[in-house]
Amino acid sequence: MIIMQDLEALYQLVSERKQNPKEGSYTDYLFTKGLDKILKKVGEETTEVVVAAKNHDNDELRYEVADLLYHLMVLLVEQGLSYEQVKVELASREGLMSQFKDRPEIKNL
Ligand SMILES: N=c1c2ncn([C@@H]3O[C@H](COP(=O)(O)OP(=O)(O)OP(=O)(O)O)[C@@H](O)[C@H]3O)c2ncn1[C@@H]1O[C@H](COP(=O)(O)O)[C@@H](O)[C@H]1O
């Protein structure tokens, strides 16, 4: 059993499923169904995160955030965007977040 220590490892596993489909794999099922199905799952899991947070249910929130992160990794692989590119984007924002009132819009940097 692989222990998913971070999102990079999860992304790699999902990516591997895309390259080498495995029968009975839920990830393979999503790729076979295609983008619309993946997007529906992202939307559904996002809503479940919102509801869990609204209900102050952190057990549920933990579970739903994990579901959402997994489905986001599937979306990245489907769209051909690497998790590394997301990390680079996050890194480019370092040091900007504390100046939230006067800082320029991230898209204008
Ligand atoms: N992290 C996850 C993960 N999180 C959630 N899920 C699946 O996401 C689905 C979400 O549940 P839902 O009830 O919303 O959906 P469903 O009713 O099962 O199916 P649909 O609504 O999509 O038709 C469940 O079937 C979960 O098993 C995941 N499936 C896989 N992974 C990881 O991906 C790896 C590879 O999985 P397989 O591709 O299945 O081998 C696993 O070892 C895990 O590490």
Q: Which CATH superfamily is domain 34-91 in?
A: MazG-like (1.10.287.1080)
Of all residues in the chain, the percent with pLDDT exceeding 70 is 85
The number of beta carbons lying within 10 Å of the beta carbon of residue 4 is: 16
pLDDT at res. 78: 98
Give the residue, 4 or 32, on which the prediction is more confident.
Answer: 32
| pLDDT at 34 exceeding the cut of 70 | yes
Per-residue model confidence (pLDDT) at position 1: 45
Predicted complex ipTM: 0.91
Q: In the predicted model, what is the mean pLDDT of residues 67-76?
A: 98
Closest C-alpha residue for ligand 1 atom 1: 70
Task: Kindly report the protein residue whose alpha carbon is nearest to atom 18 of ligand 1.
Answer: 26
The predicted structure's pLDDT at residue 25:
96
- Grade residue 4 by pLDDT with cuts at 50, 70 and 90: low
Taking the domains of the chain in order of start, what are their residue ranges?
34-91
- CA 77 – ligand 1 centroid, Å: 15
In our burial notation (b when 16+ CB lie closer than 10 A, e otherwise), range 6-23 reads: ebeebbbebbebeeeeee
Percent of the chain that is helix, strand, coil (3-state, to 5): 70, 0, 30
